[in-house]
Amino acid sequence: MNADKRRQIFERLQAANPHPTTELEYTTPFELLIAVILSAQATDVSVNKATRKLYPIANTPATIYALGVDGLIPYIQTIGLYKTKAKNVIETCRLLLEQHNGQVPREREALQALPGVGRKTANVVLNTAFGVPAMAVDTHIFRVSNRTGVAPGKNVDIVEQKLMKFVPSEFLMDAHHWLILHGRYTCLARTPQCWNCVILDLCEFHKKTPAPSKAV
């Protein structure tokens, strides 16, 4: 895929959604960090349901740490892997209090040193909370990048590197959100809704596979 076609793709995604953002609900960088930790192998909807109950009670490192693992579990037990996540969240709160004065660090290495925070989670926080151009490659972005031909790669690291290289600079801040939302609602894993796609004629997948007709 050439640079002009990539630019057209992001121009169209921008026109369709000028101000994209995460579907996780948060009001502070810390709330976002915890929500992203909880969202691993879980839906944003399920995380939001849990944090709507948790955050009015505890939404700072100190108040969540005070709950302890046993006190946190009742708020998040509807989310997958909740026991492991509870331990990670409590330990993260402890480290934020002891090493970062209760603040979420803005450095990737410091973020990834927190329990339950991998590169993808760190990228979400850096991009969404702190306005750093970063690409958090989840299953949706990986699928869309490969299927459309925007940034094909055999693993998430390669796709991330290519996206950071190929996405025009003026779109880097929002590209992560556009690609996730496109994969979540249009470019579905099993039945992509090509009939409802704003970049259909630019997509490499569409060239290889006839688009299905719109369901009546």
Catalytic center residues: 120, 138
The answer to whether 175 and 21 are in contact (CB under 8 A) is no
Choose among 108, 82, 110: nearest CA to 98: 110
How far is Cα 137 from Cα 176, in angstroms, rounded to an integer?
Answer: 8
The answer to whether 150 and 144 are in contact (CB under 8 A) is yes
Torsion of CA 132, 173, 161, 191, to 10 degrees: 130
How far is Cα 150 from Cα 169, in angstroms, rounded to an integer?
Answer: 15
Structure tokens at 63: 């108040």
Q: What is the largest CA-CA distance in the chain?
A: 59
Say how many residues make up the chain.
216
